[in-house]
Chain A
């Protein structure tokens, strides 16, 4: 509204200004044209016009303003409505914004977390960066080193190139020499052909020579045989010579022979004589031996004779009718029989003595029993005597009582009238008399018992006496042992008492032990000889103990395992699958590897001509394709620095030259190997 007011004021001001500026010209015109009288009227008229115009103008203005105001109000309303709408929208927006804000806050938090993580990562990265930088530095250093090396290597390469050039030149030279050698070789081959031809000739010659040699040898054998025959003949000649000399000696020999024959005859005769004499000597010797034997027999006979004389003397001295040893033996037998009889008697007597002793001991026990019985009986009698005395006393007391009662009754009778109390008294009297009767009966019974007991004691006494008599009779029989017996008896009694005491002690002990046994039995003890204790293996105690132990030992492990399990339980199946697949892959790889290795080995064998086997670690055996024997092989050992060394084998011993040339001088194993191959190959093909 203020704005509107302002606008109206402004418009009026404007209009006023315009008015002021417009009428300046007419005023001046009027001033000039009309005079000063009209001027005032004109001014007034104009002023009125002006006012009317102003009024119209203001009315118009007012209307306009009113319309404007209405429009303004409308627009204001519209604006308000729109504003409200906008407010609600903005409120909604605001809410959205708040929600979004919260979300954003959450995001910010997350981002902050991420940021911290990122910061951590960053720090890690920084560390890594540092490490990498260090590595980089190291690498750059290495790079520099390598660069330097490269430079050196380049230099070496240049030098090597130079060398190569030189070597190429050398090779060219060698090629030249080789061609020259090839030429030489051709020449040599030609020479060889020539030599071969020569060799064939020579071999033919050799064959003829061999034939000649064989004929030669036959000749030589013949010569030898002839020589041998010659030697035989020479020997024969010498024998002939000796025979001739012997023939010359024959007449002398015949003479000698005659002489010798004579001698021989003489000697024969003398020998016969000699044998005769020997026979005679033999006969005499035998006679002598016989004589000696008869002499010895004579001496023996004399000795026997003396013995027999002693026997005869013995027979005479003893007075027995002993003429012969048989008699003596008979006597001895008789004596032995007598001895046996005596021994039997002795035994019988001994047994009797023993039986008597036994019966004596029995009697003694009986005696002691009887004595005990008598003692018991005496005791009984004493007790019974005492009883009798007591009973007699009681009887006396009772009679006294009875007398007293009677006296009392009499006094009552005398004092009181007989008519009133007599029945009662008589009743009492009767009762008292009954009691008396009873007591008397009892008394009589007791006396009868007493007499019975006395009789019993009497009979027992009689028994005792008889037994003692019997015993005495036995004692008389064994009088000398009686005193000893008494001693023994007392000794035995003491012993019995001791034993009794011991028995009691033992009984007590037994009781105590039984008590203990019972107690032990109650506590669960048992006899391991008769009983065994069994229990079920998986009893609850054992199970509980096992659980306890397992729990103690494994609780931590289980916890860890559980955690691991929880973490990995999801992955177990995957892992298993992975494992299976990896195992399968492994298997396949193995197969492929084996196949490839086999292939590689065969290829190596075919290409290099060597089969390479690994015998032990770091030892390789090389067998050539062209080897003459299965066992011809070369052994190489791998040294610690990686260099290969040839080991000595049977085969390598035969290759001394090659070893010296290729290994010691040239230091090349491949060259050595190829040389060996060539050698073996040439050997195989030439033959």
Chain B
């Protein structure tokens, strides 16, 4: 808890944001029913109860991605993280949860911590996750079996690590977009939004 007194460093910020992504992705997967609800377990974090997956394959995948993401966050080379939900029958992209990451690259040079307490940052994160939970009310129901994928928008000069490959942006044809809350650690600013396929009835 010394960091709360001192403020936040680049490393701490990267860890906080990565943690947010881990919880955020888990709660999206739970809320949108991509994985069956019985494979999730209840955890308390950010002073709220959250759902975490117990599926071993999904767990290993998420830890892989989030640890790599943490590295990129630390290097300030990541621009966006996108969670794409694809219909398995038609291969159509139905939802895109986009998290724009604005990195303050000056933090890379000066190691001086910023004056923002972890408590306030976590409050902001909590409100973002609450909003993600609340979006279920207006998002169309996913009726077909779906799978998800995580896209990371990085700087062009980044060397692609092993096990990773280039992908398309997976843009939704005819989408509606809704901006969600954003939070900032004063080093990384995360703007969240969700785009979903416009249904014919709407």
Interface residues of A (CB under 8 A from B): 519, 521-526, 528-545, 548
Contact = CB atoms under 8 A, between A and B. Distances in A.
Interface string B171-202: 11001010100000000000001010000000
A534 B154 contact: yes
B166 A530 contact: no
B23 interface: no
Contact of A526 (B147, B169, B193): B169
B163 A538 contact: yes
24 contacts: A522-B177, A523-B96, A523-B171, A524-B80, A524-B98, A524-B172, A525-B169, A531-B155, A533-B154, A533-B167, A535-B165, A536-B65, A536-B68, A536-B163, A538-B163, A539-B148, A540-B58, A540-B61, A541-B84, A542-B149, A543-B147, A544-B88, A545-B88, A545-B91
A524 B171 contact: yes
B155 A530 contact: yes
A537 B164 CA distance: 5
Contacts of A529: 156
Contacts of B166: 532-534
Chief secondary structure at chain B's binding surface = strand
- Nearest 5 Cβ contacts at the A-B interface: A541-B147, A544-B147, A541-B149, A522-B177, A535-B167
B86 interface: yes
A536 B153 contact: no
Given A539-B150, A544-B88, A533 B168 contact: yes
Nearest to A521: B100
B133 to A, nearest CB: 21
Contact of B149 (A519, A522, A532, A535): A535
A524 B86 CA distance: 15
A528 B168 CA distance: 10
Contacts of B168: 533
Nearest to A519: B177
A524 B165 contact: no
Contacts of B86: 541
Contacts of A542: 149
B48 interface: no
B169 A535 contact: no
B147 A540 contact: yes
B103 interface: no
Interface string B50-93: 00000001100100110010000000000110101010100100
B61 to A, nearest CB: 6
B17 interface: no
B151 interface: yes
A536 B25 CA distance: 15
A522 B98 contact: yes
A533 B151 contact: yes
Given A531-B153, A534-B164, A522 B195 contact: yes
B177 A534 contact: no
Contact of B154 (A525, A531, A543): A531
B170 interface: yes
A533 B175 CA distance: 20
Contacts of B149: 535, 539-542
Contact of B151 (A534, A540, A543): A534
A320 B82 CA distance: 94
Nearest to A544: B147
Contacts of A522: 98, 177, 179, 193, 195
A534 B165 contact: yes
A532 B100 CA distance: 14
B1 interface: no
> Among A524, A533, A535, A537, which residue has the most Cβ atoms of chain B within 10 A?
A524
A521 B171 CA distance: 10
A186 B26 CA distance: 118
B47 to A, nearest CB: 30
A525 to B, nearest CB: 6
Given A531-B153, A533-B152, A538-B61, A524 B147 contact: no
Given A534-B160, A535-B165, 20 more contacts: A522-B179, A524-B80, A524-B82, A524-B96, A524-B170, A524-B172, A532-B160, A533-B153, A534-B154, A534-B158, A534-B167, A535-B151, A536-B61, A537-B163, A539-B61, A540-B58, A540-B147, A540-B149, A541-B88, A543-B57
A541 to B, nearest CB: 4
> Among A521, A533, A545, which residue has the most Cβ atoms of chain B within 10 A?
A533
Contacts of A531: 79-80, 153-156
B164 A535 contact: yes
A150 to B, nearest CB: 79
Contacts of A545: 88, 91, 147
A541 B156 CA distance: 24
A523 B195 contact: yes
B154 A532 contact: yes
A536 B147 contact: no
B26 to A, nearest CB: 13
Contacts of B152: 533-535
Contacts of B61: 536, 538-540
A522 B61 CA distance: 26
Nearest to A528: B156
A367 B11 CA distance: 60
Interface string B104-128: 0000000000000000000000000
Contacts of A544: 88, 147
A524 to B, nearest CB: 5
Contact of A530 (B64, B88, B156, B160): B156
Nearest to B158: A532
Given A536-B64, A539-B150, A541-B148, A523 B177 contact: yes
A531 B167 CA distance: 12
Contacts of A524: 80, 82, 96, 98, 169-172, 195
B45 to A, nearest CB: 23
A540 to B, nearest CB: 5
A541 B95 CA distance: 13
A525 B171 contact: yes
Contacts of A536: 61, 64-65, 68, 150, 163-164
Nearest to B96: A524
A474 B64 CA distance: 77
B172 A523 contact: yes
A203 B193 CA distance: 125
Contacts of A543: 57, 147
Contacts of A537: 163-165
A543 B170 CA distance: 17
A90 to B, nearest CB: 67
A3 B182 CA distance: 123
A540 B155 CA distance: 24
Nearest to A532: B156
Nearest to B85: A541
A548 B88 contact: yes
Given A541-B148, A542-B149, A533 B169 contact: yes
Contacts of A532: 153-156, 158, 160, 166
A11 to B, nearest CB: 103
A545 to B, nearest CB: 7
Contacts of A541: 84, 86, 88, 147-149
Nearest to A522: B177
Nearest to B194: A522
B140 to A, nearest CB: 17
A598 to B, nearest CB: 56
B39 to A, nearest CB: 13
A542 B165 CA distance: 12
Nearest to B78: A534
B12 to A, nearest CB: 25
Contacts of A539: 61, 148-150
